[in-house]
Structure 1
């Protein structure tokens, strides 16, 4: 499935939902992509997501970060049988940039980590 510069693939064998942005997107397209990701995760009841942001230039867009931390992430609390795990895959050149705004543990039960190596991201997602 491709929309908003995004490809989604559910891999029950990993288990993970993989989201890859293949072009630079606007903040509105990024938010729409997250909503598309959420719909796919709901359909698969999959709480482990790999978000491939390696082609994105701006990982710290303030509007998207505020929306993510104040609206999107809190809506994930209790949505699946387990806490949502978000593995952000970034290019080594962007590894020092924060990917999302800080998400309070009081607001959501998300676990978030950033990786430059896809295998390491999948290993982290597979942990119980």
Structure 2
């Protein structure tokens, strides 16, 4: 069920009650990224939805370094306090995007940092939607 639709972001609730689907429609500016993720967090708090399926398959993504810094170093680490359960993000990428992450040493290092179990959020990268949804909905051990 759509919650928010802008020229650059589509936010939907579901497929489970505690999950949001975030689809970036095009590359965004830092201001759009910040506004979009603030709206995502507000909806997630309203719906008690700490599970986020983030669709990054839009052409032109991933984002520039300064946007990644804001998202991964500032926004996500502070967002955990809004939820009783861990904030979990399954990032859905095309097979080519995912391969590029593991091909580039800087991207690989960033991915390892983001998926580190010591982060105050849980993040994983996928190229298959069913696997991403399964990971999001699995029991946390």
Given the two structures, how large is their TM-score scaled by the length of structure 2?
Answer: 0.78
**Rounded Cα–Cα distance in structure 2 between residues aligned with 1:72 and 1:92:** 27
Greater length-normalized contact order (CA 8 Å, ≥ 6 residues apart): 1
> 1:78 aligns to what SS in structure 2?
helix
What does residue 42 of structure 2 align with?
Answer: 39
Matched, 1:115 2:126: yes
1:4: Cα distance to partner? 5.1
The answer to whether the Cα contact below 8 Å between 1:4 and 1:29 also exists between their aligned partners in 2 is: no
**Rounded Cα–Cα distance in structure 1 between residues aligned with 2:108 and 2:71:** 11
Q: Which moves more between the two structures, 58-67 or 93-102?
A: 93-102
Any gaps of 5 or more consecutive residues in structure 2?
102-106
**Rounded Cα–Cα distance in structure 1 between residues aligned with 2:138 and 2:87:** 12
Aligned residue runs from structure 1 range 1-128, under 5 A: 1-3=4-6, 5-11=8-14, 13=16, 15-95=18-98, 96-97=100-101, 98=107, 101=110, 102-103=113-114, 108-128=119-139
Instruction: Give the aligned CA root-mean-square deviation in angstroms.
Output: 2.3
Q: Which moves more between the two structures, 14-23 or 33-42?
A: 14-23
**Rounded Cα–Cα distance in structure 1 between residues aligned with 2:136 and 2:23:** 16
Name the count of aligned residue pairs: 127
1:12: Cα distance to partner? 5.8
Any gaps of 5 or more consecutive residues in structure 1?
none
Runs of 4+ residues over 6 Å off in structure 1 = none
Q: Greater helix percent: which structure?
A: 2
**Rounded Cα–Cα distance in structure 2 between residues aligned with 1:21 and 1:41:** 16
